[in-house]
Amino acid sequence: MFINITDSTTANNKGSSGELVNYLEKENRLFNKNKPENWFNHTSANIEPYEVRRSIDNNIAKLCKTDAKFFLINISPSQKELKHLTDVFGASGVKDQMKFFAEKVMDEYAKNFKRDGINSAKDLLWFGKIENNRYYTYKDKEVVSGDKKRGEIKGGNQMHIQIIVSRKDINNRLKLSPMNTSRGKNTEHSKKLGQFNRLGFKQSGETLFDQLFGFDRKLNETLAFANIQQNGNIAQREQLDLLEFGNAQNNNANSFTNRLAGDVSLGLFNSTNDLLQTVGKTVSGFIEIMMEPVYPSSLGPGSVDQAEKKRKKKRKGQNQGISR
């Protein structure tokens, strides 16, 4: 799962959103004239481009000329994840699930600010759009080698979602910037300045996908694993080694170890001993826990149970999608 937040370097987000909205309409102009992919959010699945531009551009109270007015969030499942959705919900149901997932991701985006009154996607002004293709750029090795040309469509399932989210909340009152990583010296100062943990937000996307759709993600396929391998300090790598060892004892413990790896990646444990204190007082205690059956946790009341029931219905041929 790849989730990225684009700042002004590429999004040109200090002025009107019109240019970006128009750019994200490119597939409708090229391929989907008869059946365009409409914009959506938590209230509607059929939003016109002009409504997106007008809403974002009018939600800028007390922002300076040089302030960012909006941000672009890219949600890109891997082809393995997309195949899983297809297997579970059928090809016709994948888009609905992706939209549902996007709303849940925006719930996490809102919560990450830790601001009073900003608790879910409903507190944000945002608009999402499904794109079905990706295109080769000059940076791709296939273009560099001459095997592909810049602008050619990439093969395979490339479905992803682009989301434009306003800098201001839906009431045009609070400034919300995911680029603000401020950490005040005291709690009240941090609340005033706001804060956003981008790594934590990206990791939450993986957890959401796995819990909502029953996806069995291996430890070495997680963002946390890659981040620790590339950027982790010695203590974090030692903690990851322990998680790998424990995970090898129980192939069904992925969700458990993945969650712990996410905490390790965020630097929540100062040492391996601190990590062990959360699961067992000794290494042997940790291994005992890892040998026990692991069951997925739920995002909300009955969410996993409901997903499982719907998967069973699909297998019985009663429907291929999920209705909400």
Burial of 301 (0-12, 13-18, 19+ CB in 10 A): exposed
Kindly state whether residues 99 and 243 are assigned to the same domain.
Answer: no
How is the chain split among helix, strand and coil, in percent rounded to 5? 50, 10, 40
pLDDT of residue 296: 46
Asked whether the beta carbons of 160 and 72 are under 8 A apart, the reply is no
CA nearest 227: which of 253, 199, 256, 269?
199
Q: Is residue 299 part of a domain?
A: no
Q: How confident is the model at residue 253 (pLDDT cuts 50, 70, 90)?
A: confident
Kindly state whether residues 191 and 224 are assigned to the same domain.
Answer: no
Kindly state whether residues 31 and 83 are assigned to the same domain.
Answer: yes
- Residue 272, amino acid: T
Q: Helices 198-213 and 223-231: crossing angle, nearest 10°? A: 150
Of 173, 200, 227, the residue at which a domain comes to its end is: 200
Pairing type for strands 2-6 and 124-131 reads unpaired
Q: Is residue 209 part of a domain?
A: no
Q: Is residue 238 part of a domain?
A: yes
Kindly state whether residues 157 and 224 are assigned to the same domain.
Answer: no
Kindly state whether residues 242 and 98 are assigned to the same domain.
Answer: no
Identify the domain containing residue 247 by its residue range: 217-291
Kindly state whether residues 264 and 178 are assigned to the same domain.
Answer: no
Kindly state whether residues 88 and 172 are assigned to the same domain.
Answer: yes
Residue 111 has pLDDT above 90, yes or no: yes
Kindly state whether residues 121 and 267 are assigned to the same domain.
Answer: no
Q: Is residue 19 part of a domain?
A: yes
Q: Is residue 317 part of a domain?
A: no
Q: Quick one: DSSP state of residue 39?
A: B
Asked whether the beta carbons of 185 and 177 are under 8 A apart, the reply is no
Kindly state whether residues 250 and 165 are assigned to the same domain.
Answer: no
Q: How confident is the model at residue 299 (pLDDT cuts 50, 70, 90)?
A: very low
Q: HSE on the CB side for 306, CA within 13 Å?
A: 11
pLDDT of residue 188: 60
Residue 288 has pLDDT above 70, yes or no: no
Kindly state whether residues 188 and 230 are assigned to the same domain.
Answer: no
pLDDT in tens, 124-180: 999 999 999 999 988 899 999 999 999 899 999 999 999 999 999 999 999 999 988
CA nearest 106: which of 185, 211, 201?
201
pLDDT in tens, 209-249: 999 999 999 999 999 999 999 999 999 999 999 899 888 87
pLDDT in tens, 82-108: 999 999 999 999 999 999 999 999 999
Residue 48 has pLDDT above 90, yes or no: yes
Q: Is residue 296 part of a domain?
A: no
Give how far Cα 323 sits from Cα of 103, 202, 316, Å: 15, 27, 16
Strand order in 160-169's β-sheet?
Answer: 2-6, 70-76, 160-169, 124-131
Q: Quick one: DSSP state of residue 80?
A: H
CA nearest 130: which of 217, 34, 216, 47?
47
pLDDT of residue 127: 98
DSSP assignment of 187-204 equals HHHHHHH----HHHHHHH
Residue 300 has pLDDT above 90, yes or no: no
Structural domain total, the chain: 2
Query: Cα–Cα distance between 208 and 213 in angstroms, integer?
Result: 8
Of 165, 200, 235, the residue at which a domain comes to its end is: 200
